[in-house]
Amino acid sequence: MKSRDLAAAVVFAGLYAAGVIALPALSFEIIQVRISDALLPMALVFGLPSVIGITIGTFIANLFSPFGIVDLLGGTLTNLVATYLGWKMGRNFVFKGSWLFVAIFQALLVTFVVGSYLYVLIGVPPTEFFGVTVPGIVFAWLGVLGGSVVSIVVVGYPLTKAVAKYLVTESRYV
């Protein structure tokens, strides 16, 4: 691994962990907006260094999770898979909107995996939601989905596009 790749991995790990640890109320509940997840689409630009860095950052951040070993391993593996597949998909998909597709895929992956194990850990009962009774698992998925869409798609996708444009224009990394 080149020194710039190692440095990038360290920066991603630090940014991810710091964002989660600094905002625990947003990061560890059934309804969550894990702002650090905005870094997941960066795998499209930085590749393996971001995959490694975000995975390590997730592990460090989840050491502070109230959900223990399940969140430590489950969240870390989920972000590893989301960033790795995002990186690979970004290299193989070459259609207009492919990066947006990858960001949506990452948000859905995080939603279903994290939402499912949080449902089991917390034991979310059926919940009244706008006058409709929603099964607990669906409520858990919706809680994680909302935050994942905000962090990964609404914040992370445009941030990734901007960084990619800057790096290509300035020829600093790529």
Domain boundaries, the chain: 3-170
Number of other residues whose CB lies within 10 A of the CB of residue 153: 20
Measured distance CA(11)–CA(158) in Å, rounded: 20
Q: What is the pTM of this model?
A: 0.92
Helix (H, G, I), strand (E, B) or coil at 132: strand
Length of the chain: 174
| pLDDT (0 to 100) of residue 174 | 46
Checking if the pLDDT of 80 tops 60, the result is yes
Q: Higher confidence at residue 43 or residue 31?
A: 43
Please state the separation of Cα 107 from the chain's center in Å.
Answer: 7
Report whether pLDDT(29) > 90: no
* Residue 164 confidence (pLDDT): 93
Question: What pLDDT sits at residue 161?
Answer: 95
CB atoms within 10 A of CB 166: 12
* pLDDT score recorded for residue 169: 67
What average pLDDT does this structure show over 89-116?
Answer: 94
Return mean pLDDT, the chain.
93
The CATH number of 3-170 is 1.10.1760
**More confident call, 132 vs 15:** 15
